[in-house]
């Protein structure tokens, strides 16, 4: 079993990416000082994957408001990514995507993040990387179930809340709810109010 990346430096990478309708080399270091939501998906032209890719694209403005860049990544080429964006969503395509799709054809990015299986495809891995370049959150699961963009935004907001206030976020915390002080005595303020 691979060690977790949480609390460690996010593995750097450099790869070609589809950005809009063109290609650009992107590296993680380009995003230093910003939050990054990096997600891996198995393959282009599949079934669950376009639902996730388009959901992250539709929520792009919400991530941008939170100072977070979104990056998608699969083991396909940038040319395959481009062909997929040329198909409409009604046909299982992507249409316009508002963030870069990394081309990990050497599989080195998926391997470095511990999500490569059978040396073939990436599991559905999602990593929130802090402005300091540390992995703050990771979730990795099997191929058949898509991720929740709303949950990703909730967790991002929670980490930003902790950063801002120094208080911690209890289970099911969402924006506007009470946080708690990480102290044996002061935490009782939260517990008293919650129960």
Positions marked active-site: 49
DSSP structure string for 36-90? EEEEE-S-SS-SHHHHHHHHHHHTHHHHHHTTEEEEEEESS-HHHHHHHHTS-GG
71 and 39 in contact (C-beta within 8 Å)?
A: yes
**Cα distance between residue 160 and residue 73, in whole Å:** 24
| Rg value, the chain, Cα | 18
Residue recorded with tokens 């599949």? 46
Please give the structure tokens belonging to residue 164.
């801002």
Helix/strand/coil for 144:
coil
**Cα distance between residue 85 and residue 66, in whole Å:** 26
Q: How many CB atoms lie within 10 A of CB 102?
A: 26
**Cα distance between residue 167 and residue 169, in whole Å:** 7
């Amino acid at each position: 079993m691979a060690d977790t990346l949480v609390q460690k430096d996010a593995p750097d990478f450099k790869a070609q990416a589809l950005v809009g309708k063109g290609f650009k080399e992107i590296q993680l270091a380009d995003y230093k000082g910003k939050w990054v939501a990096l997600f891996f998906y198995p393959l282009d032209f599949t079934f669950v994957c376009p639902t996730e890719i388009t959901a992250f694209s539709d929520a792009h403005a919400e991530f941008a408001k939170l100072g977070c860049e979104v990056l998608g990544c699969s083991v396909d080429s940038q040319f395959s990514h481009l062909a997929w964006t040329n198909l409409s969503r009604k046909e299982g395509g992507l249409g316009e995507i508002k963030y870069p799709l990394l081309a990990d054809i050497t599989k080195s990015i998926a391997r470095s993040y511990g999500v490569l299986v059978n040396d073939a495809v990436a599991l559905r891995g999602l990593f929130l990387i802090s402005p300091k370049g540390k992995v703050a959150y990771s979730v990795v699961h099997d191929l058949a179930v898509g991720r929740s963009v709303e949950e990703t935004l909730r967790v991002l907001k929670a980490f930003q809340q902790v950063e801002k206030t120094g208080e911690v976020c209890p289970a099911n915390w969402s924006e506007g709810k009470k946080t708690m002080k990480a102290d044996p005595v002061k935490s009782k303020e939260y517990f008293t109010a919650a129960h």
